[in-house]
Structure 1
C-alpha cells in the first residue's frame, strides 16, 4: 500500500494532537493565527472522516478489500501492537463529531474562546480523544482516549467563571474519575484472564473460556459495563449530567452532547464482537433494555420537573441515552439501524439546543447580567480593549427574535420527535422495527414497553418544551432584544440544516445505517480484517 491514503485512520487523531500542541506554543495575542489553525484542523477532520466513510462503501478496494481500514501503529501486527480500525460505524461517528465540533468552534469565536485561557488547545484535545475512542481497536487505548477526552473536558467544563460552574464541574470530575477507575479495573481483569486487550482477538479468546476463567471474565465485563453506562448517563448513574452540562459554556455543552454517546458506542462495539461468543451478559439486552427504559422514564420525569432551560436540555440528553440503550437492548439488529439514525439526529439537535438557549437567555435581564459578569471577569467589556463588548457580541443579525423563536421551534420538534423533521423519522422507524421484532404476529412485551416509554417521553417533551417556550418568549415582561453575531446564528443553523438534510435524504441514510447494523451483526469481517492485516515491512514497503 502506497500513498498518504493508507494513513487515513491515523489522521483524525494526529491532526488535532498537532494542532493542539501548536496552539499551546502560540501566544494568546495571535488570535487570528490561532483561529485559522483551529478551523483548518477541524475542516481537515471533516474531510478525512468523509474519505473514511467513502472507503467503507468500497471506494478504495485496493487499500482495504474488506472495506474496513486497519492501521498498525508502530507496524506491529495484531494483537501485539496498537491497532486503529475504521469501519462504517466508526466513520459515521467521526463525521458526526467533526461536524458538531465545527459548529461549536464557530460559536466560540463570538466570545467563549477568549473567556479564559487554553480553550482552543483543550478543544482540539477533546476532539482527539473522541476520534481516538471511535477508532481504537483495543481496550487499553480505549481507556487512554477516554482519559484524553475527559482530561480536556475537565478544563473546558471549568472554562469561564461562576461558583455554580465550579461546583458542577467538581461533581462531574469526581464521577468520571470513579468511572475511569472501574474501567481500568475491568480492563486489568480481562487482560489477566485472556492475555489480550485487542478487541478482535478478545472476541476469539472469550468464547474459549471455561470454568473459573469464564466467571472472572463475566465479572470483568460487568465492571466494564458499569463504567460505560456511567459515561452513557444511564440511570441511576446520571445524577451529575443536568447540572454539569447546564453550567458549562454553550459551545462546550454542545460538544458534550456527543460524549454520552461514546459510552453507548463502546457498549455497541464490544457487544457486537463479544455477544456471538456467548460471553458477557453485561453487553446484552438482559441489562441494557431495562436500564434504558428506566433512564428514559427518569429523563421524562426530569424535564417535567425542571424549570431551568439548561437543565431541561440535560434531561433531554438523558432521554436520548435511554432511548438508545433500550433500542440496542432489544433482540436482533432490527432496531440498530434506526437507533443509529436517532443518535445522529439527537446529537445534532441537542448540540444546537445548548447554543440556542445561551442566546435566548440574553433576552432576559438575568441572562444579560450573567453575560456582563462573564465579560467583566475577563476584561472583555473594557472600552479601550480590542475585545470590547461590541466586538465580542458582533453585528446584529436581522430579526434576531424571529430567528431565536424559529430555531427553538425546530429544536423542540426534533427533541419531541414530531414531523416533518428527522426526529419523527427516527422515532417512527424505531417503533415500527420494535413491533416487528417478535417471531410471532403478536409483538412482545418488551416491544410494547419500548413503544409506551418512547411515546410517553415524547409527550413529556412536548409539554415541557411548550411550557419553556411560552415562558421564554411570551410571558417575560422585560425581554431584551439581543445582538447576535452571525457566527452564533450560523453555528446553530449549520446543525439544524444538517438535521433537515437527514430528513430529506432519510431513505439513503437509513439504508446505509441498516447495512452498518447488519455488518455489526457479522463481526467476523471485522475480526478477519484486523487479525489478517500485514505490517508494511512484511509487504516489502517502508514503514
Structure 2
C-alpha cells in the first residue's frame, strides 16, 4: 500500500474521537472570548461546525467501504471493554452523525444572519449541544450515554431560552422539568440493569442477557422498560409529549431546527439497544417489548397527525410533524424485522432534514407575513383577521366573485419560499418522488412482502396512509393561507445566509432520492448489523488496549 494511504488508514480510528473532542475544545475557546467579539465567535463556531461536518462525511465514507459491522472501536482511556470508556463507530452511528452535523451547519448559517446576536453564550452552548449529540451516537456504554445525554440537555436548556421572552421561559420550565424526570428514569433503569448483569457496557449486557436466570427476568425487563421510558420521552412518544411542541415552537428558529435532531436521539437509542439486547440471542427475553413499541408508535402517529390538523402556527406544525415522524419510526421498529429496519433507517435522515427545514422556513414566512403592505393581517394569537377599515372596497380590483385580483409576477424570493414549502410537504406527507415516500414504501414493502405478513403490518399501512393524508390536508391549508391567499404583500426580504441553509437541507433530501440505490444498500447493511449483533459484541469486547510506545 502507498505510504500516504497507510498513514491515512492509521489515522482513521483516531478520527472517531474528533466529533466529540472538536466541539469540546471549541466551546472552551469560545468561553474565553468576550461576548463583544461576536464576529470572531461566529467565525470560530462556523469553522468548527464545518470541520465537524467534513469529519462526519469522512466517517460515513469509511463505514460505507468497510467489510465489518463495527468499523472502529476506540478506547479513550486505553482500558479494555467492559471496564473502560468505549466508543464504537458503525454504519448507523455514522449516518446519525452526518445527519446531526448537516442540520447543525444549516442552523448556524441561518443563525449567523441575525439570531446569534439575540442572547449571550449562544455559540458556546451550540458547540456543547454538538458534543452531546456526537457522544450519544458514538458511545458504547450506558454510563457515558447518560453523561452525553445530560450534556446535550444542559446545552438545550440554554439554547431554548436564547432570545428571552415569556413564552420561552414558560416552555423552558416545562422542558427542563420533564427532561429532569427522564434523566431520573434513565438512572433508575441503568442501576437496575447493572444490578442484574453486573455491567454497563452495551455489548457486555447483550452477552449476559441469555445467562440471566428466570427468577430475575422480571426485574431485568422492569429495568429495560424504565430505561426505555426515558428514551421514549425524548422521542416525543404519546402521551408523554405534551411538552415538546410548545418548547420547540417557542425556541428561536435555528434552535428549533437543531432540536429536530433531539427527538431522533431517543429513537436512535432504542434502535441501538432493543435489537442488541432483545434479539433472537436474548433467550427468554427475545423480542420482548416489541408490542409496546409498536402500540406507542401507532398512537404517536395518530396524535402527531391530529396535532398537525389542529395547528394554526407554522412552528407548531413543525413540532407535530416531528412527533409524526418519531411515531412512524417507533411503530416500524416494533415490527422487529431487519428489512423494515432498513427502510426505517432510510426514512430517518430525510424526515429529520425536512423537519429542520420547516422550522427555519417558518421564521422566514412569519416575518414575511408580518411585513405586508396595505392589507397586511394583524395578529391575534397568530390568527389573521382583517379589521373593518381594511375590508375590500371599491378601490380594490375585484373579480366577478368579489375576490381581490393580485395580477403580479411572483417574485424570486416568494417563489423560493413556495418551492421550499412544497418540497417539505412532499417529504413530511410521504408523497412521491422524494425520500419520505421511498422510506415509507420500503418499510411497507418489507412488512407486507413477506409470506408471514401480520395484521400489525396491515394496520401500519392503513395508519401511514391516513396520517399522510391528514398531514397533506394540514400542510395544504397552511400553504393556501400563506401563499395563495396572500394579497398585496411586499416581496419577502431574504438574506443569502437564510435561504442557503434551507436550500442545502432540501438538496440533501433530493440527494437521498438520486442516490436511493446506494443509500438503501447502506441502510440494509446497517439493519442487518443491528439485528445480528454477534460481530458487534465480539469486536467491542475483544478490542485490546494499545501498547505504550517503546514497549
TM-score normalised according to structure 1 size: 0.90
Correspondence list, 1:62-461, <5 A: 67-276=70-279, 277-278=282-283, 284-365=289-370, 399-439=412-452, 443-461=453-471
**After alignment, is 202-211 or 229-238 more displaced?**
202-211
Task: Report if aligned partners of 2:368, 2:493 keep a CA contact under 8 Å in 1.
Answer: no
Task: Report if aligned partners of 2:371, 2:489 keep a CA contact under 8 Å in 1.
Answer: no
Task: Report if aligned partners of 1:222, 1:280 keep a CA contact under 8 Å in 2.
Answer: no
| Residue matched to 2:402 | none
Task: Report if aligned partners of 2:257, 2:357 keep a CA contact under 8 Å in 1.
Answer: yes
Q: Distance in 2 between matches of 1:406 and 1:455?
A: 24
Q: Distance in 1 between matches of 2:550 and 2:111?
A: 42
The number of residues matched between the two structures is 509
Report the 3-state secondary structure (helix = DSSP H, G, I; strand = E; otherwise coil) of the residue aligned with 1:535: coil
Instruction: State the Cα distance separating 1:45 from its structure 2 match.
Output: 1.4
Q: Distance in 2 between matches of 1:297 and 1:287?
A: 16
Q: Distance in 1 between matches of 2:221 and 2:442?
A: 33
Cα 1:256–1:226 change in 2 (3 A) is: same
Instruction: State the Cα distance separating 1:480 from its structure 2 match.
Output: 4.2
Q: Distance in 2 between matches of 1:244 and 1:423?
A: 25
| Residue matched to 2:27 | 20
- Of residues 510, 517, 533, the one that matches 2:543 is 533
Instruction: State the Cα distance separating 1:525 from its structure 2 match.
Output: 0.8
Report the 3-state secondary structure (helix = DSSP H, G, I; strand = E; otherwise coil) of the residue aligned with 1:189: helix
Q: Distance in 2 between matches of 1:239 and 1:122?
A: 25
- Residues 28-50 of structure 1: per-residue CA shift (max 9 Å, x gap): 23233222211221122122222
Report the 3-state secondary structure (helix = DSSP H, G, I; strand = E; otherwise coil) of the residue aligned with 1:258: helix
Cα 1:369–1:198 change in 2 (3 A) is: farther
TM-score normalised according to structure 2 size: 0.88
Q: Distance in 2 between matches of 1:438 and 1:292?
A: 24
**After alignment, is 304-313 or 153-162 more displaced?**
304-313
| Residue matched to 1:390 | none
Q: Distance in 1 between matches of 2:477 and 2:160?
A: 28
Q: Distance in 2 between matches of 1:137 and 1:341?
A: 23
Report the 3-state secondary structure (helix = DSSP H, G, I; strand = E; otherwise coil) of the residue aligned with 2:338: coil
Q: Distance in 2 between matches of 1:430 and 1:10?
A: 33
- Residues 95-139 of structure 1: per-residue CA shift (max 9 Å, x gap): 111111100010000111110000111000001000000000100
Instruction: State the Cα distance separating 1:55 from its structure 2 match.
Output: 2.5
Q: Distance in 1 between matches of 2:342 and 2:226?
A: 27
1:5 is aligned to 2:15: no
Instruction: State the Cα distance separating 1:266 from its structure 2 match.
Output: 0.6
Q: Distance in 2 between matches of 1:66 and 1:221?
A: 25
1:31 is aligned to 2:41: no
Cα 1:493–1:257 change in 2 (3 A) is: same
1:462 is aligned to 2:465: no
Task: Report if aligned partners of 2:70, 2:535 keep a CA contact under 8 Å in 1.
Answer: no
Instruction: State the Cα distance separating 1:66 from its structure 2 match.
Output: 6.0
Q: Distance in 2 between matches of 1:332 and 1:504?
A: 26
Instruction: State the Cα distance separating 1:284 from its structure 2 match.
Output: 3.6
Q: Distance in 2 between matches of 1:370 and 1:495?
A: 31
Q: Distance in 1 between matches of 2:227 and 2:139?
A: 16
Instruction: State the Cα distance separating 1:542 from its structure 2 match.
Output: 7.1
Instruction: State the Cα distance separating 1:370 from its structure 2 match.
Output: 12
| Residue matched to 1:474 | 484
Task: Report if aligned partners of 2:100, 2:133 keep a CA contact under 8 Å in 1.
Answer: yes
Task: Report if aligned partners of 2:69, 2:529 keep a CA contact under 8 Å in 1.
Answer: no
Report the 3-state secondary structure (helix = DSSP H, G, I; strand = E; otherwise coil) of the residue aligned with 1:76: coil
Q: Distance in 2 between matches of 1:228 and 1:146?
A: 10
Instruction: State the Cα distance separating 1:350 from its structure 2 match.
Output: 0.6
- Runs of 4+ with >6 A deviation: 366-371
Task: Report if aligned partners of 2:193, 2:220 keep a CA contact under 8 Å in 1.
Answer: yes
**What is the alpha-carbon root mean square deviation over aligned residues?**
2.2
Task: Report if aligned partners of 1:270, 1:283 keep a CA contact under 8 Å in 2.
Answer: no
Instruction: State the Cα distance separating 1:306 from its structure 2 match.
Output: 1.8
| Residue matched to 1:392 | none
- Residues 280-313 of structure 1: per-residue CA shift (max 9 Å, x gap): 5796422111111111011111111221211111
**After alignment, is 113-122 or 45-54 more displaced?**
45-54
Task: Report if aligned partners of 1:68, 1:526 keep a CA contact under 8 Å in 2.
Answer: no
Report the 3-state secondary structure (helix = DSSP H, G, I; strand = E; otherwise coil) of the residue aligned with 2:75: strand
Instruction: State the Cα distance separating 1:511 from its structure 2 match.
Output: 1.1
Q: Distance in 1 between matches of 2:319 and 2:286?
A: 29
